[in-house]
Chain A
Amino acid sequence: MSAPVATEPKPAPPAVETLKVKVDGLEIAVPKTMPDPLTGKPVPTTMIQACTLARTDVPHYCYHPKLPVAGNCRMCLVEFGTPAMGPDRKPVLNPDGTPKIAKSPRPAIACATPISPGMEIYTTTPGVKAMREGVLEFLLINHPLDCPICDQAGECKLQEYSVDYGQATSRFVEPKVHKPKQVDLGPRIVLDDERCILCTRCIRFTKDIAGDDALGIVNRGSYNTLSAYPGKAFDNNYTLNTVDLCPVGALTSKDFRFQMRVWFLKETKSVCTSCATGCNIVIGAREEKVYRYEPRENDAVNSSWMCDSGRLNYKWIGAENRLTEIRRQNPGAGGEKITWTTAAKEIADRLLAAKPGTVAIVASARQTNEELFLLSQLAKKLNALTDSVPRIQIGDKLLLSADRNPNSNGAKLTGIAPAQLGSNLRKIAEGIGKGTIKTLLVFGEDVTRHGIGADLLAKLDTLVASEILPNQTTKLAHYVLPGCAHAEKRGTFTNGKGRVQKFMKAVEPRGDARPEGEFLHELVAAVNGNPGFTSIEGLFNWMAREIPAFNGLTWGGLGDTGVTIVLPS
């Protein structure tokens, strides 16, 4: 990479004192304190954090690095020792001069025990193995063992640890405690209490992260049952994160339940497009069908969470009425299917024939930086008036942004949209009304709902509409270009805080639909005479050179979690 790119505007972390511990004989220096997951205040580093830093896996259920520690599952029990102290309060040394380690007679839970200087943690001893086996056996005594019909199968910690520490047969001969099945916890969650291992991750998440103290454990002993208050639905905009957090199959998503075995899903790194936050996601797809979104950890954006509304906003990708044909239309008198080559040639000819200033472009702030950049290249050549459509609604304090466009900043930085999104729309409408604008390119919006009605569209010589789903504008267009969902192409968005994030292709486009960037590449080449780049990498790097705010960025340099740029004030 060339120029250094601005990173997160975080103050430099204060130098933290380290101390040395040994994890299974490997000595590492570990910070004495680590930030608390909720408050960010430094709290003593725990053994499990030290093990993580030493790349040693300690099995656990209730512990989660982003949640307060509960210490109830006991799966992370480890053995440890500390330097022995003599009566003079000085370390006792071995004959070879190394400190003598006094091994603790009792194990400790790694998730809640702070480290101390010289501590030695043992995770592979026969004792630790026996403890893990014992804990797992207890966790399974009342478990229904219904993996064949359980949605969690394949990504279940009970299954995974059973492979490592489980028994082939159960020694439990007593009757199992039965608990509520198929509990309708809320509009998006179904709970199976018999599968629950009472780790309380969901309770802690909804109380401490989502701020909705809605869940609790009722009853006592082996009748312990995860529950919401009777008659009260578990319904906030973050409930589905509890399904991700649930280490077993107790909390299931109504949307994903019984839809697909998780091991069949192809996972693709992507970005949620439902608001300007740009939560990092993993798209789970099989045979060109999207089955679910899950949040992907990115501490600069969404931590490990995403909102329910964004997570479930994917059905339209597989909608039956997707536009799948390139069409030349005579509005009101039918139309015909044409090829991309024909469309590119005819539209380029019309644009070249148009007088400068008579073309306008309305491009969606749901489009990628690259597409908006290509459109801005066209606009520059054609001296076109351009804009995007603002989508301001009410946001929340956690992740949901008031700006429901994923790429308003991209639209502004590429010059497609003015500082105030939508402020040129009226000028475009007036221009069409007065007859000074004769050609309109619309990408990803239904302009009839944003002040450019059917009567105005009827006055145009040329209306090109690139869309994913049919709408009023595509009905009236002379050329209809089937576009791609973000899940069907690659590209980048610039989120509300200026983080440029890339997303990858999860499924194939429908029918003849094609990434907008590919078609625009041909159109720009024909109109500007600039050959441009056919690859997304080349296109992005070209854009990064041309647009000052993106200077220094490269496609490869974005990584999986993006880079934050300084937004011009």
Chain B
Amino acid sequence: MAFSVPANLEAEITELISHYPQKRSASLMILHAVQEHFGWISQEAVEWIAARLELQPINVYELVTFYPMFRREPAGKHVVKVCRTLSCALGGSHELHGHVCQKLGLDAHAHGLQTTADGKFSVEFVECLASCGTAPVMMCNEDFHQAVTAAKADEILGKCA
């Protein structure tokens, strides 16, 4: 299936490009817009953006791979982010992350976003989620959970339908 961009996204991208004296400066904003719309950034999307900005695909691909928040594959229905930065690490986030991964059958030592085979869950071990006082913290989609124990994590995952 050829990659196509709906009219409203196309209009948004045109608007974004107009904000900058050089087209390429809009790269990151366009990547955000595309990920917002599709949920991830496909190789076709990279090529489409590069053509739109008169760049080579490698230039856009470098950006997409540099930032872990840009996804190169669709994430699961529920995205769990476990904080790995200092306070949470001291508060037991590595154990929490290991527990979540084990429960979902994922490899806790693998790099980057991991998704279960059924596409239901994705787990990411991320940098600071900005709640150091209540470590360890994790997010499930847009919901923020503080002082998460293994039992609490099981409960949160259990509630995900």
One of A222-230, A243-251, A366-374 at the interface: A222-230
B58, B66, B67, B68: the one contacting A229 at CB < 8 Å is B58
Known: A223-B111, A229-B56. A216 touches B62 (CB 8 A): yes
Q: Is B65 an interface residue (CB 8 A)?
A: yes
B43, B65, B111: the one contacting A218 at CB < 8 Å is B65
Chain B residues with CB below 8 A from A216, complex form: 58-59, 61-62
Chain B residues with CB below 8 A from A41, complex form: none
Q: Is A213 an interface residue (CB 8 A)?
A: yes
Chain A residues with CB below 8 A from B56, complex form: 213-214, 229
Q: Is the CB of B66 within 8 A of A219?
A: yes
User: A458–B65 Cα gap in the complex (Å)?
Assistant: 68
Q: Is the CB of B57 within 8 A of A232?
A: yes
User: A228–B61 Cα gap in the complex (Å)?
Assistant: 10
User: A232–B68 Cα gap in the complex (Å)?
Assistant: 23
Chain A residues with CB below 8 A from B111, complex form: 223
Q: Is the CB of A229 within 8 A of B61?
A: yes
Chain B residues with CB below 8 A from A228, complex form: 58
Chain A residues with CB below 8 A from B43, complex form: 230-231
Interface bits B126-152 vs A (CB < 8 Å: 1, else 0) = 000000000000000000000000000
Question: Which residues of A from 198 to 213 have beta carbons under 8 Å from B?
Answer: 213
User: A215–B67 Cα gap in the complex (Å)?
Assistant: 18
Chain B residues with CB below 8 A from A89, complex form: none
User: A39–B95 Cα gap in the complex (Å)?
Assistant: 56
User: A211–B15 Cα gap in the complex (Å)?
Assistant: 30
A225's nearest neighbour on chain B, judged by CB, is B65
Chain A nearest CB: distance from B56 CB in Å? Answer: 4
Question: Which residues of B from 71 to 128 have beta carbons under 8 Å from A?
Answer: 111
User: A135–B149 Cα gap in the complex (Å)?
Assistant: 42
Q: Is the CB of B58 within 8 A of A220?
A: no
Question: Which residues of B from 14 to 43 have beta carbons under 8 Å from A?
Answer: 43
Q: Is the CB of A230 within 8 A of B65?
A: no
Chain B residues with CB below 8 A from A220, complex form: 65-68
Q: How many residues of A contact B (CB 8 A)?
A: 15
Interface bits A93-129 vs B (CB < 8 Å: 1, else 0) = 0000000000000000000000000000000000000
User: A214–B61 Cα gap in the complex (Å)?
Assistant: 11
Q: Is the CB of A213 within 8 A of B62?
A: no
Chain B residues with CB below 8 A from A214, complex form: 56, 58
Q: How many residues of B contact A (CB 8 A)?
A: 13
Q: Is A53 an interface residue (CB 8 A)?
A: no
Chain B nearest CB: distance from A203 CB in Å? Answer: 9
Q: Is A217 an interface residue (CB 8 A)?
A: yes
Chain A nearest CB: distance from B23 CB in Å? Answer: 15
User: A425–B62 Cα gap in the complex (Å)?
Assistant: 56
Q: Is the CB of B58 within 8 A of A219?
A: no
Interface bits B46-64 vs A (CB < 8 Å: 1, else 0) = 0000000001111101100
Chain A nearest CB: distance from B24 CB in Å? Answer: 12
User: A381–B56 Cα gap in the complex (Å)?
Assistant: 61
Q: Is the CB of A218 within 8 A of B61?
A: yes
Question: Which residues of A from 140 to 169 have beta carbons under 8 Å from B?
Answer: none
Q: Is the CB of A213 within 8 A of B66?
A: no
Most buried by A among B58, B59, B67: B58
Chain B nearest CB: distance from A354 CB in Å? Answer: 63
B57, B59, B65: the one contacting A219 at CB < 8 Å is B65
A177's nearest neighbour on chain B, judged by CB, is B111
User: A341–B59 Cα gap in the complex (Å)?
Assistant: 65
Chain A nearest CB: distance from B1 CB in Å? Answer: 17
Chain A residues with CB below 8 A from B57, complex form: 229, 232
Q: Is the CB of A213 within 8 A of B59?
A: yes
User: A227–B66 Cα gap in the complex (Å)?
Assistant: 13
Chain B residues with CB below 8 A from A218, complex form: 61-62, 65-66
Chain A residues with CB below 8 A from B61, complex form: 216, 218, 227, 229-230
Chain B nearest CB: distance from A320 CB in Å? Answer: 42
Known: A223-B111, A230-B43. A215 touches B58 (CB 8 A): yes
User: A219–B58 Cα gap in the complex (Å)?
Assistant: 12
User: A437–B124 Cα gap in the complex (Å)?
Assistant: 85
User: A184–B111 Cα gap in the complex (Å)?
Assistant: 24
Q: Is the CB of A213 within 8 A of B58?
A: yes
B46's nearest neighbour on chain A, judged by CB, is A229
Chain B residues with CB below 8 A from A229, complex form: 56-58, 61
B56's nearest neighbour on chain A, judged by CB, is A213
Chain B residues with CB below 8 A from A232, complex form: 57-58
User: A148–B59 Cα gap in the complex (Å)?
Assistant: 35
User: A187–B68 Cα gap in the complex (Å)?
Assistant: 31
Chain A nearest CB: distance from B3 CB in Å? Answer: 14
User: A533–B157 Cα gap in the complex (Å)?
Assistant: 93
User: A218–B61 Cα gap in the complex (Å)?
Assistant: 7
Chain A nearest CB: distance from B33 CB in Å? Answer: 21
Chain A nearest CB: distance from B72 CB in Å? Answer: 10
User: A213–B59 Cα gap in the complex (Å)?
Assistant: 8
A234's nearest neighbour on chain B, judged by CB, is B58
User: A106–B62 Cα gap in the complex (Å)?
Assistant: 32
User: A220–B62 Cα gap in the complex (Å)?
Assistant: 9
Interface bits A406-417 vs B (CB < 8 Å: 1, else 0) = 000000000000
Chain A residues with CB below 8 A from B55, complex form: 213
Chain A nearest CB: distance from B110 CB in Å? Answer: 12
Chain B nearest CB: distance from A361 CB in Å? Answer: 51
Chain A residues with CB below 8 A from B68, complex form: 220
Chain B residues with CB below 8 A from A213, complex form: 55-56, 58-59
Q: Is the CB of B62 within 8 A of A217?
A: yes
User: A229–B60 Cα gap in the complex (Å)?
Assistant: 10
B50's nearest neighbour on chain A, judged by CB, is A229
User: A227–B62 Cα gap in the complex (Å)?
Assistant: 9
User: A124–B56 Cα gap in the complex (Å)?
Assistant: 43
Q: Footprint of A on B, CB under 8 Å? A: 43, 55-59, 61-62, 65-68, 111
19 contacts between A and B (CB under 8 A): A213-B55, A213-B58, A214-B56, A214-B58, A215-B58, A216-B61, A217-B62, A218-B65, A218-B66, A219-B65, A220-B67, A220-B68, A223-B111, A227-B58, A228-B58, A230-B43, A230-B61, A231-B43, A232-B58
- The list of the 7 closest CB pairs from A to B, nearest first, reads A218-B65, A216-B58, A229-B58, A213-B56, A216-B62, A229-B57, A219-B65
**Apart from A213-B55, A218-B66, A219-B65, 4 more pairs, CB < 8 Å:** A214-B56, A220-B65, A220-B66, A230-B43
